[in-house]
Chains A and B, each alone.
Chain A
Amino acid sequence: MRNHLQLSERGIATLPIVLIMVGIIFEVTLAGLVVSRLLGGGLLEEQLATEALMAAKSGAQDAVMRVTRYINCPDSGYCPSPYSLSVGQYEACYNILDDSLGTSTQTGLTTIYSRGTARGRERMVEVVLEVSTSTVGEVRIRSFREVGTFGASGGFDECD
């Protein structure tokens, strides 16, 4: 083995170093961008989740108002179900389930499921109302809470 370089071999040690360093630069930059993207994506998800919950609550409030006002819910006139409500850029879709129709998950109560959707992110709110039959039209809110979007709806009908 020769222990010294030929004139034509000058820089042969620099080239691999340069290539390795360029690779490292690329990796570091890429990692930074990926981390930034993940942070941004996670944050966007959080924002949309908040917007979806606000939309779901808006739908629930509207549904409670309709039950309070029209009592005989759901019906095709004043109290349609499922019903879609625009909340800013986003949307709520709610179902009103009357136990007399055999669709409520809780006997003797009217249950509202309101699903808020913000660019694919969904949140759902469940409201349980006690609608008095002895005193026509008296409505009491038994619960108003967020529930999971899957498996808790008792047959959620989608809005058009």
Chain B
Amino acid sequence: MVWSEKRVVIDEMRSQEGQSLAEIIVAVAIGAAILGSAATALIIMVRSGADAAKLQKGYDLAQKTIDNTRSFAEADWVSFYNLSPDSATSTFHLYTGGQTGGSSVLYASSTATSTTIDGTVYTYWFSAENVNRDSDTGAIVDSPAGIEDPSTQKVTAHVSWAVGTQIKEITVIQYLTRMRSFVTAFTDWSGGAYPAGGPITRPDNTYSSSSGTISTSTTGSITVTGESAPEYEGVVESRTFDTGFASGTTINSITWQGTKTGDNSVMFRIASSNSSTSTWDFKGDDGTSNSYYGPVIPNQPIPVKGIYHNNHRYFRYRIYLSKGGETVGPVVEAVTINWSL
């Protein structure tokens, strides 16, 4: 190689000096960018996964809270209904205690409670609200519309936990109703009036009092024998019935069986109390002594406004019979009271 050729090669080599360094710098920069992006993506993934896991645990706790509250309500609706205050902002939690026969019993406390799962502290509680229903349709309506239904409560389970400096809170809603029902059927009044008798725990053939022109002497029926008043011809007031539950019950409906004749031929009023020696305040469907339940046809349950007879142990009914302009009056063969614990 001549000198001139060697010179060209040397110049070309000199012109490439530093290329390795530049590539290293570029590679390091790219590598840093890749690692940065990957790290960011991984952080997002891990954080999303952790947040998702926490949220899932939150929903599990909310569902558990609702399930426990339902168990509590089914076991003792009155205690559940009497939780105070009754509002969307009320705070309660359930705890087990009072081992009865080796079984855990749920009790309510008016505070929130917390639990730690995988290092995260979850605070959970529930609120219970009264529910109103439309008087005509029974549909759930927002207060102040309608009338309170003491056999329905709106339960909201709340769960909260910290996410950084923020507090994350979730809620789950469920309506709970009083589901244990009983029926008491009165089918015979032929034993006559027994006003001095104490409360009965099962229907017998006596009643407390009567007035007007009615007959109860035939086993299994009450009939109208004459006409004595424009509104009704006869009234029969039952003995005091003891449901046997000191914490109280509520009345769902009243049904009668027999034969209807004219308009307004059979109607009812209900009285209830926590004292068997109470002065009985008979009420109709507007909660006063001026209204009635009915008239309805036989075998058609008449919904009773539970709020007027809520959480009472004892009840009486009055049955009002009228010929309603017909020559033959109605015949009542059975009166059935449906009530819930």
What is the bound-complex CA distance between A60 and B41, given in angstroms? 45
Contacting A at CB under 8 A, from B154-184, are 170-179, 181-183
Measured CB to CB, the closest approach of chain A to B300, in angstroms, equals 7
Among A13, A47, A69, find the residue whose CB has the most chain B CB atoms closer than 10 A: A69
B-chain residues with CB within 8 Å of residue A4 when the two chains form the complex: 12-13, 16
User: Interface residue tally of chain B, by bracket?
Assistant: 35 or more
A-chain residues with CB within 8 Å of residue B303 when the two chains form the complex: 69-70, 78
Whether B177 lies near A61 (C-beta < 8 A) is yes
Whether B44 lies near A36 (C-beta < 8 A) is yes
Whether A65 lies near B178 (C-beta < 8 A) is yes
Whether A138 lies near B182 (C-beta < 8 A) is yes
Q: Which residue of B lies closest to A38 (CB)?
A: B48
Residue among B12, B16, B174, B181 making CB contact with A57, cutoff 8 Å? B174
Q: Which residue of B lies closest to A57 (CB)?
A: B174
What is the 8 Å Cβ interface bit string for chain A, positions 51-69, against chain B (1 contact, 0 not)?
1011101100110111011
What is the bound-complex CA distance between A141 and B138, given in angstroms? 21
What is the bound-complex CA distance between A50 and B157, given in angstroms? 12
Contacting A at CB under 8 A, from B174-222, are 174-179, 181-183, 185
Whether B138 lies near A28 (C-beta < 8 A) is no
What is the bound-complex CA distance between A10 and B13, given in angstroms? 12
Q: Which residue of B lies closest to A65 (CB)?
A: B177
What is the bound-complex CA distance between A65 and B19, given in angstroms? 84
Measured CB to CB, the closest approach of chain A to B118, in angstroms, equals 16
Given A18-B26, A135-B185, A137-B338, A54–B172 Cβ distance below 8 Å? yes
Contacting A at CB under 8 A, from B110-126, are none
Q: Which residue of B lies closest to A43 (CB)?
A: B52
Is A32 part of the contact surface with B, judged by Cβ < 8 Å?
Answer: yes
Question: What is the size, in residues, of chain A's interface with B at 8 Å between Cβ atoms?
Answer: 57
Is A120 part of the contact surface with B, judged by Cβ < 8 Å?
Answer: no
Whether A69 lies near B253 (C-beta < 8 A) is yes
What is the bound-complex CA distance between A80 and B172, given in angstroms? 26
What is the bound-complex CA distance between A58 and B340, given in angstroms? 19
Is B332 part of the contact surface with A, judged by Cβ < 8 Å?
Answer: no
Whether A88 lies near B173 (C-beta < 8 A) is yes
A-chain residues with CB within 8 Å of residue B45 when the two chains form the complex: 32, 35-36, 39
Is A14 part of the contact surface with B, judged by Cβ < 8 Å?
Answer: yes
Is B63 part of the contact surface with A, judged by Cβ < 8 Å?
Answer: yes
B-chain residues with CB within 8 Å of residue A159 when the two chains form the complex: none
What is the bound-complex CA distance between A72 and B338, given in angstroms? 13
Whether A64 lies near B177 (C-beta < 8 A) is yes
Whether A29 lies near B140 (C-beta < 8 A) is no
What is the bound-complex CA distance between A28 and B38, given in angstroms? 6
Whether B37 lies near A50 (C-beta < 8 A) is no
B-chain residues with CB within 8 Å of residue A10 when the two chains form the complex: 16, 19
What is the bound-complex CA distance between A141 and B179, given in angstroms? 8
Is B311 part of the contact surface with A, judged by Cβ < 8 Å?
Answer: no
What is the bound-complex CA distance between A48 and B132, given in angstroms? 27
Whether B174 lies near A32 (C-beta < 8 A) is no
Q: List 29 A-B contacts (CB under 8 A).
A: A4-B16, A10-B16, A21-B34, A24-B34, A25-B34, A28-B41, A31-B41, A32-B42, A32-B44, A32-B45, A33-B41, A36-B45, A40-B52, A43-B52, A50-B63, A51-B172, A57-B174, A61-B152, A61-B177, A62-B152, A64-B177, A65-B151, A65-B152, A68-B252, A68-B338, A70-B301, A78-B138, A136-B183, A136-B257
Top 3 nearest A-B pairs by Cβ distance?
Answer: A32-B41, A88-B173, A65-B177
Which residues on A are within 8 Å of B, measured CB to CB?
4-5, 7, 10-11, 13-14, 17-18, 21, 24-25, 28-29, 31-33, 35-36, 39-40, 42-43, 46-47, 50-51, 53-55, 57-58, 61-62, 64-66, 68-72, 77-80, 85-88, 132, 135-139, 141
- 19 further contact pairs, Cβ within 8 A, besides A64-B179, A69-B138: A7-B12, A7-B15, A14-B23, A25-B34, A32-B40, A39-B49, A39-B52, A46-B59, A50-B62, A54-B63, A55-B174, A62-B177, A68-B340, A72-B301, A77-B137, A85-B140, A87-B173, A136-B299, A137-B255
Which residues on B are within 8 Å of A, measured CB to CB?
12-13, 15-16, 19, 22-23, 26-27, 30-31, 33-34, 37-38, 40-42, 44-45, 48-49, 52, 55-56, 59, 62-63, 66, 137-138, 140, 151-152, 170-179, 181-183, 185, 252-253, 255, 257, 299-301, 303, 334, 336, 338, 340
